[in-house]
Amino acid sequence: MNSTLLNLHAFISQLTPRTLTLKELQKTDFDKWKSFLEQESGQLKSEMIFNLLGAASLQEKQAWLAALQDQLVLFSNQFNQYLFRDRRKWESHPDSVLIRINYLNSLSCMENLLDFINSEFARYQNSQSRVSDFRLHKVIPELRQQVRELKTDLSVSAVSQTLARMVITGLSNLLKKDLSSYGISYISGFCSQCHKITSMNDDQLCTLMISMDFNQPDFYLAKIEQTDRHLYEINGLHEQVEFILNQKEKLLRKQIISKYRLHPNLPSIWDDLRQYYNEKEQALEAMLALRRAALKDQRSSEESFRVLSLLTVPQLALFFRIQLEKGILIKEHIHDVFNFVAMHFYTEKTLFISSGSLQRKSTDVDFPTALKLWDTLSGMMEWLDEHFSVRNYQRSL
């Protein structure tokens, strides 16, 4: 292959517009031009068949073909430049028509070789190899149109603006880089799958993004933040573990339907989420184990220094928040306070309270919770008045 490519390289270097315009060209020169390309093209196809159907390993075949692809793309780009960008250098030549025809035939020859690789040896080709400038000129407008149509569809759907923007930005960024066959296939496949879904919402789009391996880092972070928000809403550690297990089960049911991913050099979003759920489950299980060991789960509440509270977890959280805000407890020790409460209190519905959830619920308070605690505190004041007659006590100035 090296000799064939060297011959092609040497030949192409003699076909620059500057070189041709300094020559008095004959018809035989153009005939030789055409004949040489046909001969070398046929030779390259024979070498491909010989090497790629031979006994070499898969890795060796892929490396060999990747090098050939890159070189053919360079040749194609060179002829594309001669034909279009450098047109002014040769269009005034007496044989400009023949020059144009032969440049076009040469460009077509390189593109045909690339198409031959794609059709006959797709298994070995490098899908991340850069697409030729000639093909980009055609495919970029088509892909941009697909992305624009998807953006329009998402804007009138139930999908949130944040998620829609994430998708459009991720796809658009592929078009700004050196686009590869890989990128073309991913954009087309993603847009095609989106169009199959009617009445798109966030859940459906997230499922598709995972199935299409949309491994954009900000999508991964958004999924983690969403999971953490759900966990903070769950009072008990047992229930938090159950939630994570449910998320893992849902992920396992989401099959990857694309052999491509948005960023081929980054890990799969599916693998990243699975690892996150596994680590979260292990952390929660470890916390439960420590809590059981510290509280001696089999002992009675009194023996293990745990107190049953008839308040709900949100009410208990607000009760201690009031003490912190009014200076009864030291506010700088807020984390220690809620860790202590989670360790030494439990409710009828929550055996092990999550300290993180407890602290969050102390600030995210709904009105029914505040009203119920008001009633409780009012009852406490009534008790004080009943036993110590403090309501009408006149303090001296």
Q: Is residue 204 included in any domain, yes or no?
A: yes
Q: Is residue 23 included in any domain, yes or no?
A: yes
Q: Is residue 18 included in any domain, yes or no?
A: yes
102 and 29 housed in the same domain = yes
264 and 349 housed in the same domain = no
Query: pLDDT tens track of the chain, all 397 residues?
Result: 567 888 888 888 888 998 888 888 888 888 899 999 999 999 999 999 998 888 889 899 989 888 999 999 999 999 999 999 998 988 888 888 999 999 999 999 999 999 999 889 888 888 888 889 999 988 999 999 999 999 999 999 999 999 999 999 999 998 876 788 889 999 999 999 999 998 899 999 999 999 999 999 999 999 999 999 999 889 888 899 999 999 999 998 888 888 888 998 899 999 999 999 999 999 999 988 887 776 665 454 445 577 888 899 999 999 999 999 998 999 888 888 998 888 888 888 888 888 888 988 999 999 999 999 999 999 898 898 888 888 877 766 4
Tokens of 51: 């090497």
Tokens of 241: 């573990």
Distance spanning both ends of the chain, measured CA to CA: 104
116 and 6 housed in the same domain = yes
User: Residue 82 is part of which domain span?
Assistant: 2-126
C-alpha pair distances (Å), 218 with each of 222, 223, 224, 373: 6, 9, 10, 40
Per the structure, the count of domains in the chain is 3
Compute the Cα dihedral for 296, 297, 302, 305 and give only its sign. positive
141 and 260 housed in the same domain = yes
Report d(CA 343, CA 285) in Å as an integer: 15
Query: Is the distance from CB of 68 to CB of 61 less than 8 angstroms?
Result: no
256 and 160 housed in the same domain = yes
Outline where 127-235 has alpha helix (H).
133-155, 161-176, 181-195, 202-211, 217-232
142 and 104 housed in the same domain = no
Predicted confidence at residue 201, as pLDDT, reads 94
pTM passes above 0.85: no
Q: Is residue 298 included in any domain, yes or no?
A: no
Report d(CA 323, CA 338) in Å as an integer: 12
Compute the Cα dihedral for 83, 88, 90, 91 and give only its sign. positive
59 and 151 housed in the same domain = no
Residues 6+ apart with CB under 8 A from 72: 110, 113, 114, 117
Q: Is residue 67 included in any domain, yes or no?
A: yes
339 and 262 housed in the same domain = no
